[in-house]
Structure 1
Amino acid sequence: MAIKEGLFHAAWNKVLADLEQQSWPEACLYVVATPIGNLADISPRAIFALNHADIIAAEDTRSSRVLLNAWGISTPLMPAHRHNEAQAAQEIIALLNEGKRVALVSDAGAPAVSDPGGRIVREVKKQGLAVKVIPGASAVIAALMGSGVTSDENPAFAFAGFVPQKAVARQQWLRKWSALDVPVVMFESPHRIQAFCKDLLLVCGPNRQLTIARELTKRFEQVTTLPVSELENWFAEDEHHRLGEFVLILEEAPKADENELQVQADALLKILLETVSVKDSARVAARVTGLARDALYSRALELKDA
Protein backbone atom coordinates (compact mmCIF):
# COMPACT_ATOMS: atom_id res chain seq x y z
CA MET A 1 0.00 0.00 0.00
CA ALA A 2 1.70 3.15 -1.22
CA ILE A 3 1.75 6.31 0.88
CA LYS A 4 2.25 9.67 -0.80
CA GLU A 5 5.37 10.59 1.14
CA GLY A 6 5.12 14.35 0.75
CA LEU A 7 1.51 14.46 1.91
CA PHE A 8 2.26 12.17 4.86
CA HIS A 9 5.18 14.28 6.09
CA ALA A 10 3.18 17.47 5.70
CA ALA A 11 0.31 16.00 7.72
CA TRP A 12 2.71 14.62 10.34
CA ASN A 13 4.42 17.98 10.76
CA LYS A 14 1.03 19.66 11.17
CA VAL A 15 0.08 17.17 13.90
CA LEU A 16 3.38 17.84 15.70
CA ALA A 17 2.84 21.58 15.43
CA ASP A 18 -0.64 21.18 16.90
CA LEU A 19 0.77 19.07 19.75
CA GLU A 20 3.25 21.82 20.60
CA GLN A 21 0.31 24.16 21.21
CA GLN A 22 -1.52 21.76 23.52
CA SER A 23 -1.28 21.84 27.31
CA TRP A 24 1.70 19.90 28.70
CA PRO A 25 1.88 21.06 32.33
CA GLU A 26 4.88 20.50 34.54
CA ALA A 27 4.50 18.59 37.84
CA CYS A 28 2.19 16.16 36.07
CA LEU A 29 2.01 12.36 35.78
CA TYR A 30 1.25 11.29 32.20
CA VAL A 31 -0.28 7.78 32.11
CA VAL A 32 0.57 6.57 28.61
CA ALA A 33 -0.76 3.51 26.76
CA THR A 34 1.81 1.76 24.56
CA PRO A 35 1.49 -0.79 21.70
CA ILE A 36 0.44 -4.36 22.51
CA GLY A 37 2.64 -5.89 19.81
CA ASN A 38 2.87 -3.64 16.76
CA LEU A 39 5.25 -0.73 17.36
CA ALA A 40 3.27 1.40 14.91
CA ASP A 41 0.21 1.34 17.18
CA ILE A 42 1.28 4.38 19.16
CA SER A 43 -0.35 7.78 18.90
CA PRO A 44 1.51 11.00 18.04
CA ARG A 45 0.34 12.34 21.40
CA ALA A 46 1.94 9.40 23.22
CA ILE A 47 5.20 9.90 21.30
CA PHE A 48 5.17 13.58 22.19
CA ALA A 49 4.51 12.88 25.88
CA LEU A 50 7.27 10.27 26.13
CA ASN A 51 9.73 12.53 24.32
CA HIS A 52 8.99 15.58 26.48
CA ALA A 53 8.84 13.80 29.85
CA ASP A 54 11.77 14.31 32.20
CA ILE A 55 11.67 10.61 33.10
CA ILE A 56 9.62 7.54 32.18
CA ALA A 57 8.51 5.10 34.89
CA ALA A 58 8.37 1.70 33.16
CA GLU A 59 7.17 -1.76 34.19
CA ASP A 60 10.02 -3.30 32.17
CA THR A 61 12.77 -0.85 31.25
CA ARG A 62 14.28 -3.22 28.66
CA SER A 63 11.11 -3.69 26.60
CA SER A 64 10.24 0.00 26.93
CA ARG A 65 13.69 0.94 25.64
CA VAL A 66 12.98 -1.07 22.46
CA LEU A 67 9.87 1.04 21.85
CA LEU A 68 11.65 4.29 22.66
CA ASN A 69 14.59 3.46 20.39
CA ALA A 70 12.20 2.68 17.53
CA TRP A 71 10.83 6.22 17.79
CA GLY A 72 14.12 7.96 18.54
CA ILE A 73 13.17 8.83 22.12
CA SER A 74 16.06 9.11 24.60
CA THR A 75 14.15 10.01 27.78
CA PRO A 76 15.70 8.27 30.83
CA LEU A 77 13.86 5.36 32.43
CA MET A 78 13.19 4.27 36.01
CA PRO A 79 11.66 0.93 37.10
CA ALA A 80 8.06 0.90 38.34
CA HIS A 81 6.82 -2.68 38.54
CA ARG A 82 4.68 -4.84 40.82
CA HIS A 83 7.51 -5.50 43.28
CA ASN A 84 8.61 -1.89 43.80
CA GLU A 85 5.41 0.03 43.06
CA ALA A 86 5.04 1.54 46.54
CA GLN A 87 8.62 2.82 46.52
CA ALA A 88 8.31 4.01 42.90
CA ALA A 89 5.17 5.95 43.82
CA GLN A 90 7.08 7.93 46.45
CA GLU A 91 9.97 8.60 44.05
CA ILE A 92 7.53 9.81 41.40
CA ILE A 93 5.76 12.08 43.88
CA ALA A 94 9.12 13.61 44.83
CA LEU A 95 9.89 14.25 41.15
CA LEU A 96 6.49 15.82 40.57
CA ASN A 97 6.99 18.08 43.58
CA GLU A 98 10.18 19.29 41.88
CA GLY A 99 8.08 20.29 38.86
CA LYS A 100 9.11 17.34 36.67
CA ARG A 101 6.96 15.70 34.02
CA VAL A 102 6.80 11.92 34.61
CA ALA A 103 5.38 9.44 32.09
CA LEU A 104 4.09 6.07 33.33
CA VAL A 105 4.06 3.06 30.97
CA SER A 106 3.50 -0.68 31.32
CA ASP A 107 5.15 -3.45 29.34
CA ALA A 108 2.33 -3.26 26.76
CA GLY A 109 -1.07 -1.64 26.66
CA ALA A 110 -2.52 0.52 29.41
CA PRO A 111 -0.90 0.98 32.84
CA ALA A 112 -3.14 0.13 35.81
CA VAL A 113 -5.40 -2.13 33.68
CA SER A 114 -4.31 -5.65 34.64
CA ASP A 115 -0.79 -4.16 34.82
CA PRO A 116 1.10 -2.25 37.53
CA GLY A 117 0.43 1.47 37.85
CA GLY A 118 -2.83 1.76 39.74
CA ARG A 119 -1.15 2.29 43.12
CA ILE A 120 1.09 4.99 41.64
CA VAL A 121 -1.89 6.85 40.16
CA ARG A 122 -3.79 6.64 43.47
CA GLU A 123 -0.86 7.93 45.53
CA VAL A 124 -0.19 10.79 43.11
CA LYS A 125 -3.86 11.83 43.19
CA LYS A 126 -3.89 11.64 47.01
CA GLN A 127 -1.18 14.28 47.03
CA GLY A 128 -3.33 16.57 44.90
CA LEU A 129 -0.92 16.32 41.97
CA ALA A 130 -2.01 16.36 38.33
CA VAL A 131 -2.62 13.20 36.29
CA LYS A 132 -3.22 13.17 32.52
CA VAL A 133 -4.29 10.09 30.57
CA ILE A 134 -3.01 9.35 27.06
CA PRO A 135 -5.03 6.37 25.76
CA GLY A 136 -4.05 3.92 23.08
CA ALA A 137 -3.88 0.23 22.19
CA SER A 138 -5.83 -2.26 24.33
CA ALA A 139 -5.74 -6.05 24.04
CA VAL A 140 -9.22 -6.26 25.57
CA ILE A 141 -10.78 -3.86 23.08
CA ALA A 142 -8.84 -5.32 20.13
CA ALA A 143 -10.12 -8.83 20.94
CA LEU A 144 -13.70 -7.59 21.26
CA MET A 145 -13.41 -5.69 17.97
CA GLY A 146 -12.36 -8.87 16.16
CA SER A 147 -14.80 -11.22 17.87
CA GLY A 148 -18.25 -9.88 17.05
CA VAL A 149 -19.55 -10.85 20.50
CA THR A 150 -20.58 -7.28 21.41
CA SER A 151 -22.60 -4.73 19.46
CA ASP A 152 -24.26 -1.36 19.80
CA GLU A 153 -27.41 -3.15 21.00
CA ASN A 154 -25.49 -5.40 23.43
CA PRO A 155 -22.28 -3.58 24.40
CA ALA A 156 -21.83 -5.02 27.90
CA PHE A 157 -18.90 -7.24 28.83
CA ALA A 158 -16.82 -8.05 31.91
CA PHE A 159 -13.03 -8.04 32.17
CA ALA A 160 -11.64 -10.63 34.57
CA GLY A 161 -7.89 -10.13 34.04
CA PHE A 162 -5.43 -13.01 34.26
CA VAL A 163 -6.66 -16.55 34.90
CA PRO A 164 -5.34 -18.07 38.17
CA GLN A 165 -2.37 -20.39 37.72
CA LYS A 166 -3.38 -23.28 40.03
CA ALA A 167 -6.04 -25.78 38.94
CA VAL A 168 -8.31 -25.58 42.02
CA ALA A 169 -8.23 -21.78 42.10
CA ARG A 170 -8.76 -21.68 38.34
CA GLN A 171 -11.88 -23.88 38.52
CA GLN A 172 -13.38 -21.82 41.36
CA TRP A 173 -12.61 -18.64 39.45
CA LEU A 174 -14.22 -20.02 36.28
CA ARG A 175 -17.39 -21.00 38.16
CA LYS A 176 -17.75 -17.42 39.38
CA TRP A 177 -17.08 -15.65 36.09
CA SER A 178 -18.86 -18.15 33.83
CA ALA A 179 -22.14 -17.50 35.68
CA LEU A 180 -22.34 -13.91 34.39
CA ASP A 181 -24.91 -12.97 31.76
CA VAL A 182 -22.36 -10.98 29.73
CA PRO A 183 -19.26 -12.07 27.76
CA VAL A 184 -16.17 -12.31 29.97
CA VAL A 185 -12.72 -11.26 28.69
CA MET A 186 -9.65 -12.84 30.29
CA PHE A 187 -5.92 -13.27 29.72
CA GLU A 188 -4.01 -16.57 29.65
CA SER A 189 -0.41 -17.54 28.90
CA PRO A 190 0.63 -20.05 26.20
CA HIS A 191 2.05 -22.62 28.62
CA ARG A 192 -1.24 -22.87 30.57
CA ILE A 193 -3.78 -22.48 27.77
CA GLN A 194 -4.48 -26.21 27.34
CA ALA A 195 -4.92 -26.79 31.08
CA PHE A 196 -7.30 -23.83 31.08
CA CYS A 197 -9.35 -25.38 28.27
CA LYS A 198 -9.68 -28.68 30.16
CA ASP A 199 -10.94 -26.87 33.24
CA LEU A 200 -13.30 -24.79 31.11
CA LEU A 201 -14.82 -27.99 29.70
CA LEU A 202 -15.20 -29.34 33.24
CA VAL A 203 -16.88 -26.19 34.56
CA CYS A 204 -18.95 -25.00 31.58
CA GLY A 205 -19.59 -28.13 29.55
CA PRO A 206 -19.07 -28.64 25.81
CA ASN A 207 -21.49 -26.13 24.27
CA ARG A 208 -20.34 -22.73 25.52
CA GLN A 209 -18.54 -20.63 22.90
CA LEU A 210 -15.01 -19.34 23.50
CA THR A 211 -13.29 -16.72 21.36
CA ILE A 212 -9.51 -17.12 21.16
CA ALA A 213 -7.51 -14.05 20.16
CA ARG A 214 -3.76 -14.52 19.79
CA GLU A 215 -0.85 -12.52 18.38
CA LEU A 216 -3.08 -9.43 18.26
CA THR A 217 -1.75 -6.62 16.02
CA LYS A 218 1.12 -8.85 14.84
CA ARG A 219 1.75 -10.68 11.57
CA PHE A 220 0.05 -13.93 12.63
CA GLU A 221 -2.94 -12.35 14.38
CA GLN A 222 -5.79 -14.81 14.78
CA VAL A 223 -9.28 -14.43 16.26
CA THR A 224 -11.51 -17.51 16.17
CA THR A 225 -14.62 -18.65 18.02
CA LEU A 226 -15.29 -22.30 18.86
CA PRO A 227 -17.47 -24.39 21.16
CA VAL A 228 -15.53 -25.60 24.18
CA SER A 229 -15.83 -29.20 22.93
CA GLU A 230 -13.64 -28.38 19.89
CA LEU A 231 -10.81 -26.59 21.68
CA GLU A 232 -8.61 -29.65 22.22
CA ASN A 233 -8.68 -30.56 18.52
CA TRP A 234 -8.07 -26.94 17.48
CA PHE A 235 -4.90 -26.73 19.53
CA ALA A 236 -3.74 -30.16 18.33
CA GLU A 237 -4.18 -29.45 14.62
CA ASP A 238 -1.50 -26.72 14.45
CA GLU A 239 1.36 -26.16 16.89
CA HIS A 240 1.25 -22.43 16.11
CA HIS A 241 -2.18 -22.25 17.74
CA ARG A 242 -0.43 -22.64 21.11
CA LEU A 243 1.93 -19.69 20.58
CA GLY A 244 1.50 -16.10 21.72
CA GLU A 245 -0.30 -14.46 24.60
CA PHE A 246 -4.03 -15.20 24.62
CA VAL A 247 -7.03 -12.95 25.08
CA LEU A 248 -10.07 -15.17 25.66
CA ILE A 249 -13.74 -14.20 25.53
CA LEU A 250 -16.18 -16.61 27.17
CA GLU A 251 -19.75 -16.46 25.91
CA GLU A 252 -22.29 -15.26 28.45
CA ALA A 253 -24.10 -17.83 30.60
CA PRO A 254 -27.14 -19.31 28.86
CA LYS A 255 -30.50 -18.03 30.07
CA ALA A 256 -32.36 -20.64 32.07
CA ASP A 257 -35.79 -21.64 30.81
CA GLU A 258 -38.45 -20.09 33.07
CA ASN A 259 -40.37 -23.35 33.39
CA GLU A 260 -37.18 -25.17 34.32
CA LEU A 261 -36.37 -22.47 36.86
CA GLN A 262 -39.81 -22.82 38.44
CA VAL A 263 -39.39 -26.59 38.71
CA GLN A 264 -36.02 -26.05 40.40
CA ALA A 265 -37.53 -23.42 42.69
CA ASP A 266 -40.35 -25.76 43.72
CA ALA A 267 -37.88 -28.53 44.54
CA LEU A 268 -35.75 -26.12 46.57
CA LEU A 269 -38.76 -24.68 48.43
CA LYS A 270 -39.97 -28.15 49.40
CA ILE A 271 -36.58 -28.94 50.94
CA LEU A 272 -36.34 -25.59 52.73
CA LEU A 273 -39.89 -25.78 54.11
CA GLU A 274 -38.95 -28.92 56.00
CA THR A 275 -36.67 -26.91 58.30
CA VAL A 276 -37.27 -23.14 57.94
CA SER A 277 -40.19 -20.71 57.73
CA VAL A 278 -42.09 -19.75 54.59
CA LYS A 279 -40.49 -16.31 54.67
CA ASP A 280 -36.94 -17.65 54.96
CA SER A 281 -37.60 -20.32 52.34
CA ALA A 282 -38.72 -17.66 49.85
CA ARG A 283 -35.73 -15.46 50.67
CA VAL A 284 -33.18 -18.25 50.12
CA ALA A 285 -34.90 -19.52 46.97
CA ALA A 286 -34.93 -15.99 45.52
CA ARG A 287 -31.18 -15.66 46.05
CA VAL A 288 -30.48 -19.03 44.44
CA THR A 289 -32.83 -18.81 41.44
CA GLY A 290 -33.07 -15.07 40.82
CA LEU A 291 -36.89 -15.29 40.79
CA ALA A 292 -39.02 -12.68 42.57
CA ARG A 293 -39.23 -13.18 46.33
CA ASP A 294 -42.95 -12.25 46.50
CA ALA A 295 -43.86 -14.85 43.90
CA LEU A 296 -41.77 -17.47 45.68
CA TYR A 297 -43.42 -16.58 49.00
CA SER A 298 -46.86 -17.18 47.49
CA ARG A 299 -45.65 -20.43 45.96
CA ALA A 300 -44.15 -21.53 49.30
CA LEU A 301 -47.54 -20.97 50.98
CA GLU A 302 -49.20 -23.14 48.34
CA LEU A 303 -46.65 -25.92 48.80
CA LYS A 304 -46.90 -25.77 52.59
CA ASP A 305 -50.68 -26.11 52.50
CA ALA A 306 -50.65 -28.85 49.87
Structure 2
Amino acid sequence: MDWQKGEESQNVEVDQGGGGGGGRGFGGGRMGIGGLIILALLGWIFFKNPLALLNQGGGQPNTYAPTSQPAQVDPQQMEFVRRVLGSTEKTWSDIFAGMGRTYTDPKLDLFSGGVNTACGAASTAVGPFYCPGDQKIYLDLNFFRELETRFHSSGDFARAYVIAHEVGHHVQNQLGIFAKTSQMQRQGARMEGADGLSVRQELQADCFAGVWANRTQQRLQWLQPGDVESALNAASQIGDDTLQREARGTVVPDSFTHGTSEQRVKWFKVGLQGGDIQQCNTFNGPV
Protein backbone atom coordinates (compact mmCIF):
# COMPACT_ATOMS: atom_id res chain seq x y z
CA MET A 1 0.00 0.00 0.00
CA ASP A 2 1.48 3.31 -1.09
CA TRP A 3 0.01 5.12 1.90
CA GLN A 4 2.21 8.20 1.36
CA LYS A 5 -0.26 9.22 -1.35
CA GLY A 6 -2.92 9.87 1.25
CA GLU A 7 -3.93 13.36 2.28
CA GLU A 8 -2.41 14.27 5.65
CA SER A 9 -4.91 14.89 8.44
CA GLN A 10 -4.39 17.57 11.08
CA ASN A 11 -6.81 15.80 13.44
CA VAL A 12 -4.42 13.31 15.06
CA GLU A 13 -3.58 13.94 18.71
CA VAL A 14 -0.96 12.28 20.87
CA ASP A 15 -2.21 11.73 24.41
CA GLN A 16 0.25 12.89 27.05
CA GLY A 17 -1.14 10.70 29.81
CA GLY A 18 -3.55 11.35 32.64
CA GLY A 19 -6.02 13.33 30.57
CA GLY A 20 -7.29 12.20 27.21
CA GLY A 21 -10.83 13.28 26.55
CA GLY A 22 -11.25 14.45 30.14
CA GLY A 23 -14.87 13.37 30.29
CA ARG A 24 -16.79 11.80 33.17
CA GLY A 25 -15.75 8.32 34.14
CA PHE A 26 -17.98 5.33 34.70
CA GLY A 27 -17.05 5.09 38.38
CA GLY A 28 -19.12 5.75 41.45
CA GLY A 29 -21.56 2.86 41.10
CA ARG A 30 -24.43 5.06 39.85
CA MET A 31 -24.23 4.62 36.12
CA GLY A 32 -27.44 5.28 34.21
CA ILE A 33 -28.74 3.30 31.25
CA GLY A 34 -27.19 5.80 28.85
CA GLY A 35 -23.77 5.16 30.37
CA LEU A 36 -24.31 1.42 30.14
CA ILE A 37 -25.20 1.70 26.47
CA ILE A 38 -22.06 3.71 25.72
CA LEU A 39 -19.97 1.33 27.84
CA ALA A 40 -21.27 -1.58 25.80
CA LEU A 41 -20.54 0.29 22.58
CA LEU A 42 -16.92 0.74 23.65
CA GLY A 43 -16.50 -2.97 24.21
CA TRP A 44 -18.28 -3.87 20.98
CA ILE A 45 -15.99 -1.83 18.77
CA PHE A 46 -13.28 -4.47 18.61
CA PHE A 47 -14.54 -7.66 20.28
CA LYS A 48 -13.38 -6.78 23.80
CA ASN A 49 -15.36 -7.45 26.97
CA PRO A 50 -17.01 -4.12 27.88
CA LEU A 51 -16.92 -5.03 31.56
CA ALA A 52 -13.14 -4.64 31.42
CA LEU A 53 -13.83 -0.90 31.48
CA LEU A 54 -15.40 -1.28 34.91
CA ASN A 55 -12.61 -3.41 36.32
CA GLN A 56 -9.31 -1.96 35.28
CA GLY A 57 -7.64 -2.16 38.66
CA GLY A 58 -8.28 -3.73 42.05
CA GLY A 59 -11.76 -4.85 41.10
CA GLN A 60 -13.22 -1.35 41.45
CA PRO A 61 -14.66 0.90 38.75
CA ASN A 62 -12.26 3.66 37.77
CA THR A 63 -12.98 7.25 36.94
CA TYR A 64 -9.49 7.69 35.51
CA ALA A 65 -7.41 5.33 33.43
CA PRO A 66 -4.83 4.11 35.99
CA THR A 67 -2.09 3.11 33.58
CA SER A 68 -2.28 6.15 31.32
CA GLN A 69 1.13 7.33 30.21
CA PRO A 70 2.52 9.60 27.50
CA ALA A 71 2.22 7.85 24.15
CA GLN A 72 5.49 7.26 22.35
CA VAL A 73 4.79 7.44 18.63
CA ASP A 74 7.29 6.66 15.93
CA PRO A 75 7.33 9.47 13.32
CA GLN A 76 6.58 7.02 10.52
CA GLN A 77 3.65 5.56 12.47
CA MET A 78 2.34 9.05 13.03
CA GLU A 79 2.56 9.88 9.34
CA PHE A 80 0.82 6.61 8.46
CA VAL A 81 -2.07 7.34 10.80
CA ARG A 82 -2.32 10.94 9.60
CA ARG A 83 -2.44 9.94 5.95
CA VAL A 84 -4.94 7.12 6.42
CA LEU A 85 -7.19 9.37 8.50
CA GLY A 86 -6.73 12.15 5.96
CA SER A 87 -7.87 9.83 3.19
CA THR A 88 -11.04 9.05 5.14
CA GLU A 89 -11.70 12.76 5.63
CA LYS A 90 -11.49 13.45 1.92
CA THR A 91 -13.51 10.39 0.94
CA TRP A 92 -16.35 10.92 3.40
CA SER A 93 -16.47 14.66 2.78
CA ASP A 94 -17.01 13.92 -0.90
CA ILE A 95 -19.67 11.29 -0.18
CA PHE A 96 -21.56 13.56 2.22
CA ALA A 97 -21.35 16.44 -0.25
CA GLY A 98 -22.95 14.17 -2.83
CA MET A 99 -25.85 13.70 -0.41
CA GLY A 100 -26.14 17.44 0.22
CA ARG A 101 -24.68 17.08 3.70
CA THR A 102 -21.57 18.30 5.49
CA TYR A 103 -19.15 15.82 7.02
CA THR A 104 -17.48 16.79 10.29
CA ASP A 105 -14.03 15.21 10.70
CA PRO A 106 -13.41 13.13 13.83
CA LYS A 107 -10.34 13.49 15.98
CA LEU A 108 -8.03 10.52 16.47
CA ASP A 109 -6.30 10.17 19.84
CA LEU A 110 -3.16 8.03 20.07
CA PHE A 111 -2.74 6.80 23.63
CA SER A 112 -0.71 4.31 25.62
CA GLY A 113 -1.98 2.10 28.43
CA GLY A 114 -5.15 3.97 29.24
CA VAL A 115 -7.10 7.09 28.39
CA ASN A 116 -9.95 9.24 29.69
CA THR A 117 -12.72 10.00 27.22
CA ALA A 118 -16.13 11.60 27.16
CA CYS A 119 -17.43 8.02 27.39
CA GLY A 120 -15.35 7.24 30.46
CA ALA A 121 -11.96 5.72 31.22
CA ALA A 122 -10.65 2.96 28.96
CA SER A 123 -7.58 0.76 28.96
CA THR A 124 -5.61 -0.75 26.10
CA ALA A 125 -7.57 -3.97 26.71
CA VAL A 126 -10.62 -2.38 25.07
CA GLY A 127 -8.84 -2.16 21.72
CA PRO A 128 -9.45 0.63 19.19
CA PHE A 129 -12.78 2.34 19.74
CA TYR A 130 -14.91 5.32 18.84
CA CYS A 131 -16.56 7.52 21.46
CA PRO A 132 -19.68 9.30 20.17
CA GLY A 133 -19.61 11.62 23.18
CA ASP A 134 -16.52 13.47 21.98
CA GLN A 135 -16.51 12.22 18.37
CA LYS A 136 -13.02 10.81 18.78
CA ILE A 137 -11.34 7.61 17.70
CA TYR A 138 -8.98 6.15 20.31
CA LEU A 139 -6.09 3.96 19.26
CA ASP A 140 -3.17 2.44 21.13
CA LEU A 141 -0.62 1.68 18.41
CA ASN A 142 0.35 -1.47 20.30
CA PHE A 143 -2.84 -2.91 18.81
CA PHE A 144 -1.14 -3.00 15.43
CA ARG A 145 1.41 -5.42 16.89
CA GLU A 146 -1.42 -7.50 18.33
CA LEU A 147 -3.10 -7.47 14.93
CA GLU A 148 0.02 -9.05 13.44
CA THR A 149 0.99 -11.45 16.25
CA ARG A 150 -2.36 -12.57 17.62
CA PHE A 151 -4.58 -12.15 14.58
CA HIS A 152 -2.01 -13.00 11.91
CA SER A 153 -2.91 -9.91 9.90
CA SER A 154 0.07 -7.98 8.70
CA GLY A 155 0.34 -5.24 6.11
CA ASP A 156 -0.43 -1.56 5.94
CA PHE A 157 -3.88 -2.02 4.45
CA ALA A 158 -4.93 -4.32 7.31
CA ARG A 159 -3.95 -1.55 9.72
CA ALA A 160 -5.72 1.03 7.57
CA TYR A 161 -8.86 -1.13 7.70
CA VAL A 162 -8.82 -0.88 11.51
CA ILE A 163 -8.85 2.92 11.32
CA ALA A 164 -11.45 2.93 8.55
CA HIS A 165 -13.74 0.69 10.62
CA GLU A 166 -13.63 3.14 13.52
CA VAL A 167 -14.25 6.03 11.14
CA GLY A 168 -17.23 4.01 9.96
CA HIS A 169 -18.70 4.36 13.44
CA HIS A 170 -18.18 8.12 13.24
CA VAL A 171 -20.04 8.11 9.93
CA GLN A 172 -22.88 6.23 11.63
CA ASN A 173 -22.95 8.87 14.35
CA GLN A 174 -23.02 11.65 11.75
CA LEU A 175 -25.91 9.96 9.95
CA GLY A 176 -27.92 9.51 13.14
CA ILE A 177 -27.64 5.72 13.13
CA PHE A 178 -26.38 5.55 16.72
CA ALA A 179 -29.43 7.48 17.87
CA LYS A 180 -31.75 5.20 15.89
CA THR A 181 -30.07 2.11 17.32
CA SER A 182 -30.53 3.40 20.86
CA GLN A 183 -34.17 4.12 20.12
CA MET A 184 -34.68 0.61 18.76
CA GLN A 185 -33.12 -0.80 21.91
CA ARG A 186 -35.43 1.23 24.10
CA GLN A 187 -38.32 -0.19 22.11
CA GLY A 188 -37.21 -3.72 22.98
CA ALA A 189 -34.79 -4.72 20.21
CA ARG A 190 -31.95 -6.89 21.42
CA MET A 191 -28.38 -5.63 21.17
CA GLU A 192 -26.40 -8.87 21.48
CA GLY A 193 -26.88 -12.07 19.51
CA ALA A 194 -26.36 -13.21 15.93
CA ASP A 195 -29.28 -11.08 14.75
CA GLY A 196 -28.84 -8.29 17.28
CA LEU A 197 -28.40 -4.57 16.75
CA SER A 198 -24.74 -4.65 17.76
CA VAL A 199 -23.85 -7.15 15.04
CA ARG A 200 -25.75 -5.13 12.46
CA GLN A 201 -24.08 -1.91 13.56
CA GLU A 202 -20.59 -3.44 13.42
CA LEU A 203 -21.15 -5.04 10.03
CA GLN A 204 -22.30 -1.71 8.68
CA ALA A 205 -19.05 -0.13 9.92
CA ASP A 206 -17.20 -2.87 8.01
CA CYS A 207 -19.23 -2.04 4.92
CA PHE A 208 -18.45 1.66 5.32
CA ALA A 209 -14.76 0.74 5.57
CA GLY A 210 -15.15 -1.05 2.25
CA VAL A 211 -16.81 2.02 0.71
CA TRP A 212 -13.84 4.10 1.86
CA ALA A 213 -11.44 1.55 0.32
CA ASN A 214 -13.28 1.65 -3.01
CA ARG A 215 -13.58 5.43 -3.28
CA THR A 216 -10.06 6.12 -2.04
CA GLN A 217 -8.54 3.64 -4.46
CA GLN A 218 -10.33 5.36 -7.32
CA ARG A 219 -8.80 8.66 -6.28
CA LEU A 220 -5.30 7.65 -5.18
CA GLN A 221 -4.58 4.31 -6.85
CA TRP A 222 -2.52 3.41 -3.80
CA LEU A 223 -3.24 -0.31 -3.38
CA GLN A 224 -0.69 -2.93 -4.30
CA PRO A 225 -0.98 -6.70 -4.89
CA GLY A 226 -1.97 -8.47 -1.69
CA ASP A 227 -3.37 -5.39 0.06
CA VAL A 228 -7.04 -6.27 -0.30
CA GLU A 229 -6.32 -9.83 0.82
CA SER A 230 -4.63 -8.52 3.98
CA ALA A 231 -7.67 -6.44 4.90
CA LEU A 232 -10.04 -9.33 4.19
CA ASN A 233 -7.88 -11.57 6.36
CA ALA A 234 -8.03 -9.02 9.18
CA ALA A 235 -11.83 -8.94 8.93
CA SER A 236 -11.89 -12.74 8.99
CA GLN A 237 -9.61 -13.04 12.01
CA ILE A 238 -11.81 -10.86 14.22
CA GLY A 239 -15.17 -12.52 13.62
CA ASP A 240 -17.06 -13.52 16.77
CA ASP A 241 -17.05 -17.21 15.88
CA THR A 242 -13.31 -17.27 15.21
CA LEU A 243 -12.48 -15.40 18.42
CA GLN A 244 -14.80 -17.52 20.56
CA ARG A 245 -13.49 -20.75 19.11
CA GLU A 246 -9.94 -19.57 19.79
CA ALA A 247 -10.72 -18.47 23.35
CA ARG A 248 -13.03 -21.21 24.59
CA GLY A 249 -13.26 -23.88 21.92
CA THR A 250 -16.99 -23.32 21.38
CA VAL A 251 -19.17 -20.78 19.59
CA VAL A 252 -22.10 -19.06 21.34
CA PRO A 253 -24.15 -17.09 18.77
CA ASP A 254 -26.34 -15.56 21.48
CA SER A 255 -23.32 -13.59 22.68
CA PHE A 256 -22.23 -12.31 19.26
CA THR A 257 -21.55 -8.57 19.06
CA HIS A 258 -19.64 -8.14 15.78
CA GLY A 259 -20.71 -10.90 13.42
CA THR A 260 -19.02 -14.02 12.13
CA SER A 261 -15.82 -14.01 10.14
CA GLU A 262 -17.84 -14.78 7.01
CA GLN A 263 -20.20 -11.89 7.66
CA ARG A 264 -17.42 -9.40 8.32
CA VAL A 265 -15.66 -10.35 5.10
CA LYS A 266 -18.98 -10.29 3.22
CA TRP A 267 -19.92 -6.77 4.28
CA PHE A 268 -16.46 -5.35 3.78
CA LYS A 269 -16.63 -6.76 0.25
CA VAL A 270 -20.08 -5.23 -0.32
CA GLY A 271 -18.66 -1.80 0.37
CA LEU A 272 -15.41 -2.48 -1.45
CA GLN A 273 -17.03 -3.71 -4.63
CA GLY A 274 -19.87 -1.21 -4.87
CA GLY A 275 -18.48 1.89 -3.19
CA ASP A 276 -22.07 2.84 -2.35
CA ILE A 277 -23.26 3.44 1.22
CA GLN A 278 -26.83 2.72 0.11
CA GLN A 279 -25.76 -0.93 -0.16
CA CYS A 280 -24.65 -0.95 3.49
CA ASN A 281 -28.10 -1.19 5.09
CA THR A 282 -27.37 -4.06 7.47
CA PHE A 283 -30.46 -3.26 9.54
CA ASN A 284 -32.89 -4.48 6.89
CA GLY A 285 -33.20 -8.21 6.33
CA PRO A 286 -30.76 -11.00 7.12
CA VAL A 287 -27.07 -10.19 7.63
State the TM-score bracket (shorter-chain normalisation).
under 0.3
Q: Determine which structure has greater relative contact order: mean sequence separation of CA pairs < 8 Å that are 6+ residues apart, divided by chain length.
A: 2
Instruction: Name the one with the larger strand percent.
Output: 1
Larger proportion of helix: 2
